[in-house]
């Protein structure tokens, strides 16, 4: 669209959509897609947790059958993000564990057990 003198008239809506498209394009150039994919999964590292973590495991019987429990404690001086790697079941989610604290997880069944505490 143009006015009487031949100048182009640009609508406000078009200006806004062009600005948004430019911002999204600039953002995609700043953040590599591989880094976003690795960060979104939260499981970028395969490194085992430090040896100052302790793990206690036990099974018990409930009315639904056996249940396997795991309790982790951070005896380190620093905070770490860790997850539990379970044998014969789904791995745990990534959790932030402060120094001196811990958390517990359980899985249904007699066979599941934690094979590793891994950094994430």
Instruction: Evaluate if residue 36 carries a pLDDT over 50.
Output: no
pLDDT in tens, 59-91: 999 888 899 999 999 999 999 999 999 998 899
> Cα separations (Å) of 6 from 2, 13, 91?
6, 21, 66
Confidence of residue 38 (pLDDT cuts 50, 70, 90): very low
Q: Distance between alpha carbon 87 and the CA centroid of its chain, in Å?
A: 20
Beta bridge partners of 73: 54, 102
Pairwise CA distance, residues 86 & 6, whole Å: 71
Q: Is 18 helix (H, G, I), strand (E, B) or coil?
A: helix
pLDDT in tens, 40-54: 445 556 899 999 999
Beta bridge partners of 107: 68
Output the pLDDT for position 11. Answer: 58
> Cα separations (Å) of 3 from 6, 14, 56, 57, 71?
5, 17, 78, 78, 74
Contact 92, 86 (CB under 8 A): yes
pTM, to two decimals: 0.59
Pairwise CA distance, residues 87 & 115, whole Å: 6
More confidently predicted of 39 and 81: 81
More confidently predicted of 92 and 43: 92
Output the pLDDT for position 46. Answer: 81
Output the pLDDT for position 45. Answer: 64
């Amino acid at each position: 669209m143009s006015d009487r003198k031949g100048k182009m008239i640009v609508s406000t809506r078009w200006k806004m959509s062009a600005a948004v498209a430019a911002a999204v394009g600039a953002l995609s150039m700043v953040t590599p897609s591989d880094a976003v994919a690795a960060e979104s999964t939260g499981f970028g590292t395969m490194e085992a947790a430090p040896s100052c973590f302790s793990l206690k495991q036990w099974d018990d019987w409930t009315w639904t059958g056996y249940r396997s429990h795991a309790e982790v404690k951070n005896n380190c001086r620093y905070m770490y993000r860790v997850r539990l790697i379970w044998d014969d079941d789904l791995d745990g989610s990534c959790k932030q564990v402060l120094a001196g604290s811990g958390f517990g997880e359980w899985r249904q069944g007699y066979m599941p057990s934690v094979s590793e505490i891994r950094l994430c």
